[in-house]
Structure 1
Amino acid sequence: MGDRSCSQIDSRLEQLLIWRVLKHTSRWLKTIIYASFVGGIGLGLFLVYLKSHPLPPPDIHLATKIYDDQGQLINQAEQGKPHDPIQLDSLPKHLIQATLAAEDRTFYQHAGFSLHGIARAAWINLKSGEIVQGASTITQQLARNLYLTHDRTWARKMKEAMLTVQLELHYSKNQILQLYFNHIYYGHGAYGAQQASHLYFNKPVRQLSLAESAFLAGLPRGPEYYSPYSHFDHAKKRQEHILDLMVKNQMVSKKQAEQAKQATISIIPPKKVVHPSTRANYFRDYIIRTAIMEYGLDENLVRHGGLKIYTTLNSEIQQQAEQAVTKYLQDQGDLQGALVAVDPHTGHIKAMVGGKDYRQSPFNRAFAQRQPGSSFKPIVYLSALESGYTPLTKIFSRPTSFVYQGGIYQPSNFHGQYPNRPISMREAIAQSDNIYAVSTLFQIGIDRVIDAAKKLGIKSELRPTPSLALGSYAVTPYEMAQAYSTLASGGVFHPLSGIVKIVDMDGHVLVEEKRSAKQVTTSGHAYVLTHLLSSVFEPGGTAHRVRQIFTRPAAGKTGSTDWDSWLAGYTPDLVTTVWIGYDRGKKLPTEKTRIAQYIWASFMKQATSKQPTRIFPIPPDARGVYIDQETGYLATPHCPKTRMEYFVKGTEPVISCPVHPMTHSGHSEEPSLWEKIWNWFQQ
């Protein structure tokens, strides 16, 4: 009886518990159903609202304007957005398939957003620990390109989402795809597949092969990074990846894809129309590339976002640079040149010329890697001074074989001419003696020179071989301008810059240049080297011709190889590097090598004409003393040939010349008034 009563009580408790659970579940279920109903109605009303409201007119692409250091307009990023529309049914099937495989393989299945793409991108980004892949669908990309900038704000993301839904509501999938192919940016001013096909392949888009279609489909992901002109290897690898995706999605067979990978991609040279009112076109291209690659701004925004880019360029100096290059190269056939001028106190680029005619060749040779020859030697000698050498350090210059781990190195002087005697560092620099340079390299250590080059701003690869001393490894005129600017500024490294700030259409500052300077060598070492480099322009120096045109205090170094001629030099307030040579491995005749000196001298004369004439300021850690040129000892009033030589303080000679002593008698005597004055001056 007791057991039955307990059992009945338990049963009732279970029923009560179940009833309460059902009651609460029903309440939550009702809430969920109600919320879903209300949400569904809200979503439906929102979609009706978006459907009933027409899409806004596409954002007009406004050319970004570029200004000089005086705030004067000098150029535009593009001259306007070209338009060359095409119908979807006129596009080759392979281009459509390649684009879908590369950008949005579920385009025809989703309603504007790809959950699969979002999940895949999130997983890849999670594994890499950074954002390396986006998940934008073709519709989202179209919304962004038609109506929005590419800044990464939540407000822009919300607008993009709304516009994506509107595009899906107002247009069919084929219409969206057609708009995409007519508006997407393929790089180098080409909007739309038709124009891109003409730009890169010089043919209508309908004639593109599978290989060309896959190549073209890869460009919108990063028009600068995948530029066929600047980074063909990047574009080719992306083409091959897209072909693999097409095989995976059963769009082409594996055999077709392999054949397309092996097919030759022939890109025609770029054809750019230069507006007659624009200036500094090579510099403009550099500025655009910097804004995109260094500061991470979207290329479409940079070119067509109506930005204002304030730069360091001086229009008057730029014009003088272009005139000097044109004057000496215009009648020299296909001989080319480059010039970079910099303010050493700030690192601001004041002029940049990348070739003698931008309309014929927009390739910027200021960033072309060429062998610097002897213009690299000042880096060797800076390392030597830092290692304890002085301007008086002598090395025997004669035919010499240098034994090193890789074999035997036998450099030679120009025209096989050797002093066949010990020469000082000043003589070696003025006459560009190769034996002295290589001997110095071996004595101080190759790694020390490579380290010095890096701290001065050389980023190109330098290998630890004896030929390094003679400038055998290619660098760019831009890098050489950076290195010489550091010497001219007293050893202070100011990173070269061309942009002061970038402002958007609403006046918001997107970029403001604030690079920090760094002392990379002492002011004494920089000054002593500068004083030595002034000998290059003196009679007997390799750039003595410069003095026929330019007479201000200056320092510099020539450089020549079978293919190149350089002059890099500076005054206290302006650094200029000039290179001349041929683009395609053609040897440079010896008689043309001096053209670099004439360009440099002509430009520097004009560019410094409004600057006060100044000597290089002597820093506290440098000291000048008169030395006897014959012996290298402190000069006396009786030394026939003397010169003021500068040393890092503490390394100057302290012993008077024994060959021409202060007195000529064998006993001590009271020094003359002149000798007293001389002794006081030497203290």
Structure 2
Amino acid sequence: MEGTDHSTNGRGGGSRSRQGRRPKKGRFRKFVTFMFSCALLGISGLVVLVLYLHSQALPVGTFSQPSQMYDMHGELITSFQPGQNREFVPLKSIPKSLIDATLAIEDKRFYDHVGVDLRGIARAAVVNVQHMDRVQGASTLTQQLARNLYLTQDRTWSRKIKEAMYAVQLEMQLSKDQIMEKYLNDATYYGNSAYGVQAAAKLFFGKDVSELSLAESAMIAGVPKGPRYYSPYFDMDNAKQRQELILSEMANQGFITEQEAENAKREKLDIQPAAKKNTVVQAPYFRDYVRHIATQQLGIDDREFEEGGIRIYTTLDLAMQKVAEEAVAKQLDDKDELQASLVAIDPRNGYVKAMVGGKDYSANQFNRAISDSRQPGSAFKAFVYLTALQQPGFTPVSRFKSEPTVFTYDNGRKTYTPSNFAGKYPNGFIDLREAISKSDNIYAVQTIMQVGADKVIETARKMGVTSPLEPLPSLALGTYPVSPLEMAGAFGVIANQGVRIETTVITKIVSSTGRVLYEAKPSKVKVVEPEYAYTLTNLMKSVFDPGGTAGRVAEQIKRPVAGKTGTTNTDAWMVGFTPELATAVWVGYDRDRVISSVDSYKASPIFADFTEHALEAVPPKLFPMPDNVVSVYIDPATGKLATDKCPGARAEVFVKGTEPTDYCSEHGNAPPSDGKNEQKKGSWWNDLKRWWND
């Protein structure tokens, strides 16, 4: 009986065990049922969405609205007139090489997706996460077409969702070939008001699109990514690199062979000259620079920039711009190849007030004002001396002997032998004021050897110079190219008492609907103590004194001004400032041709003419002297405090605590009797009297 009971209990236990597992199976069945229901609902929803999209008519294509650019006073600089060059061609007239090139670089899965490429989105997401930046997009050709036909370029989620929906609708209602045809004719902008591949072929190569070679097709296919960046009219190097990338991609994807790609890369392209426009455009070089900043740095689509109806508010002062253009034109002969550029910045807010990139925009659109390809020469010495003044023991009366000198560096393994202009040397000791006024090269190299080229580069970087610089003795003489924009901004730091404010050209961009797309918030940081900036400013005023390198234009400027000239075999510079305006002027030839002595003297008159007329309505202002600056009379021959016996005694400013304390004894031991060497705090009245007497 016990056995029977045990046997029964065992079976009973087995029965309870199976019953205990039933809830697990039930939960699993419920989960499967739930997932199946969700899938069914999802499929049903997708079917409903597809049917809905299929039944809906696409919106009417958006009409382009001219975007407008304004100066700082709200005056219209230019209103863009898009869509003036457009010609439709059927797909059969477009060469296969151009279609393949477009697919290779823009949408290689075009014939496989339904308007939205989910695989491409996933791939782009992975790449962007890896780089922690948006380095790869996933928009298909169909999405690009939908965006350009029906939407704005706003970077919002709602716009992206609409773009995807319209792309799917396009795929439902048009064949792939029809979409491609529409894309190449209606959705693609190539710059210079050219819309569509036919206009682009005529623009760049002067031929019908059907006549394009493989190399020409690849060049054209690369432009829409950024017409101002990849157009052969604006940057041939970038355009060529992108063309070669496209040819390589075409080979990788099997559109062409490796040999065909290499042959096309070597083909010489005959780019047609850009057609001149009869309309006069105000501030054309500035306009192009604003476009570059907006499209390359702020993310504004190039097409939207012209026809999105946006309003671009800039820092330009049209009145100053006109003065700048007139000052340049006055010094340059239209028949000569000599070129010039000018950039003027308000140091108090970093606003670019005027920009001239060359003497004739219609003949050459290259903007020399932003090109970092010209050596600044002695204008770079400002950074050397500002660095030196911040080192212990170096003051305005620090002296070096200016004579032919061979400098050794790199632990004695190398030598450098600079020379003064025209081989002229004082062959005696000079101080910093004379070195700046006469632009003495030996003094400058002695200074950089003493303070260190690395420190000079550090100073230049703090002041906004980003061009490549090397820590060599020749750096003191400005042997490394920079741009006028950099120089104007850096000298503006000196004018602004050592405070650097980020250079700005766009203050605000507003969409056609009134939404603020961008608003400038320039950074502001003190990079030099004001007493050192003022001391250098006071020294650089001597450049305009009689005998100074810009002394011949001093009478043209009726206000306190400081600056530095710079001359190389191929470049002439004048970079200077008032409290309200820092201006850099460059004169030279595009092909590094040697400039004549007459040409080398044209930068200073341009600077003087512009500065005086640009500020004509502004009362002259003194450079404010900081509290930590003192003024004493010194004997130039010894650098010591002057006595009544010292001939040619002059007032000199020093950072407080660095001024000389010993009196000159070379002209007699009599101490001063008129009290003129009592340390004077930098009151505006004393400064005004010194400026007037000078």
TM-score (structure 2 length as normaliser): 0.90
Q: Is the 8 A contact 1:82 1:191 kept in 2?
A: yes
SS at match of 2:195: coil
1:138-178 alpha-carbon deviations (Å, 9 max, x no partner): 11111112122233322111111111122112212111101
Q: Tell me what 1:568 maps to.
A: 575
**Mapped partners of 1:37, 1:389: distance in 2:** 83
Q: Does 1:281 align with 2:284?
A: yes
Instruction: Go from structure 1 to structure 2 and tell me whether the alpha carbon gap of 1:254 and 1:628 turns closer, same or farther (over 3 Å shift).
Output: closer
Aligned to 2:49: 46
Contact 2:465 2:490 in 1 (8 A): yes
Structure 2: distance between partners of 1:353 and 1:299? 23
The amino acid of 1:559's aligned partner reads G
Pair 1:221–1:397, CA change in 2 (3 A): same
2:215 paired residue number:
211
Distance 2:618 2:96 in 1: 63
Aligned match of 1:675: 673
Q: Would the aligned equivalents of 1:63 and 1:303 in 2 still touch at CA under 8 Å?
A: yes
Name the structure 2 match of 1:640: 647
2:519 to 502, 512, 523: 512
The count of aligned residue pairs is 673
Please state if 1:588 is matched with 2:595.
yes
- CA distance in 2 between counterparts of 1:6 and 1:222 reads 83
Shift of 1:14: 10
**Does the CA contact (< 8 Å) of 2:438 and 2:543 recur in 1?**
yes
Q: Distance in 2 between matches of 1:122 and 1:6?
A: 61
Seen in structure 2, the aligned counterparts of structure 1 residues 52 and 293 have a Cα distance that, compared at 3 Å, is: same
Identify which of 325, 329, 347 aligns with 2:328: 325
Distance 1:71 1:209 in 2: 47
The answer to whether the 8 A contact 2:194-2:203 is kept is yes
Query: Which stretch shows the higher mean deviation, 39-48 or 612-621?
Result: 39-48
Question: What is the rounded CA distance, in whole Å, between the counterparts of 2:676 and 2:8 in structure 1?
Answer: 130
Cα-to-partner distance string for 1:649-671 (whole Å, 9 max, x where unaligned): 111112223234574xxxxxxx9
Alignment of 1:96-115 (within 5 A): 96-115=99-118
Aligned to 2:93: 90
Q: Which residue is 1:485 aligned to?
A: 492
8 A Cα contact 1:272 1:362, kept in partner: no
2:159 is aligned, of 151, 156, 161, to 156
Counterpart code for 1:431: K
In the alignment, is residue 261 of structure 1 matched against residue 259 of structure 2?
A: no
Deviations 1:433-469 (A, max 9, x none): 1111111111111111111111111110011222111
Indicate the residue corresponding to 1:524 in structure 2.
531
Of the structure 1 ranges 285-294 and 70-79, higher mean CA displacement relative to structure 2 is found in 70-79
Q: 1:76 aligns with which of 75, 79, 85?
A: 79
- Cα RMSD of the aligned pairs, angstroms, is 2.7
Q: Does 1:378 align with 2:382?
A: yes
Q: Which residue of 2 aligns with 1:533?
A: 540
- Note the 1:182-197 alignment, pairs <5 A: 182=185, 183-197=187-201
Q: 1:638 to 1:22 in 2, by over 3 A?
A: closer
- Residues 1:398 and 2:414 aligned together: no
User: 1:496-520 CA distances to partner (integer Å, 9 max, x unpaired)?
Assistant: 1111111111222121111221111
Distance 2:22 2:499 in 1: 83
Distance in 2, matches of 1:27 and 1:16, equals: 17
Q: CA–CA distance in 2 between the matches of 1:557 and 1:38?
A: 76
- Which AA in structure 1 matches 2:285? Y
Which digits, 9 at most, give the CA deviation of each residue in 1:61-115, with x for residues without a partner?
2222111111111123555553222211111111111111222222223221223
Helix, strand or coil at the partner of 2:508: strand
Identity among equivalent pairs (%): 47
For residues 45 and 292 of structure 2, the distance between their equivalents in structure 1, rounded to whole angstroms, comes to: 46
SS of corresponding position for 1:365:
coil
Q: Give the 3 Å change call, closer, same or farther, for CA 399–676 of structure 1 in structure 2.
A: closer
Q: Residues 110-153 of structure 1, C-alpha deviation per residue, up to 9 Å, x if partnerless?
A: 22122332233233334334332122211111111212223332
Tell me the residue number matched to 1:666. Answer: none
The equivalent residue for 2:352 is: 349
User: Structure 1: how far apart are the matches of 2:447 and 2:386?
Assistant: 11
Amino acid in the other structure paired with 1:564 = D
Aligned residue for 2:630, secondary structure, equals strand
User: Pick from 510, 514, 524: which aligns with 1:503?
Assistant: 510
Secondary structure of residue in 1 paired with 2:369:
helix
Deviation (angstroms), 1:573: 1.3
Shift of 1:390: 1.4
Unpaired stretches in structure 2, ≥5 consecutive residues:
682-694
SS in 1 for 2:230: coil
8 Å Cα contact 1:637/1:662 also seen in 2: no
3-state SS of 1:275 partner: coil
CA deviation after TM superposition for structure 1 residue 625, in Å: 0.9
> In 2 relative to 1, CA 80–323 (structure 1 residues): closer, same or farther, beyond 3 Å?
farther
Which amino acid letter does the alignment assign opposite residue 408 of structure 2? V
Q: How many Å separate the matches in 2 of 1:119 and 1:656?
A: 79
- Label 1:476 to 1:24 Cα distance change in 2 as closer, same or farther (>3 A): closer
**Cα deviation code 1:517-575 (max 9, x no counterpart):** 11111111111111111111111011111124223211111111111111011112111
Distance 1:6 1:502, change over 3 A: same
Deviation, structure 1 residue 290:
1.0
Q: 1:382-416: CA deviations, max 9, x gaps? A: 11111232111111111111122362211111111
| Distance in 2 of aligned mates of 1:240 and 1:372 | 35
Correspondence for 1:236: 240
Deviation at 1:640, TM superposition (A): 3.0
Structure 2: distance between partners of 1:243 and 1:6:
82
Question: What is the match of residue 248 of structure 1?
Answer: 252
1:201 is the counterpart of 2:219: no
Give the secondary-structure state (helix, strand or coil) at the position aligned to 2:223: coil
Of 46-55 and 651-660, the range deviating more from structure 2? 46-55
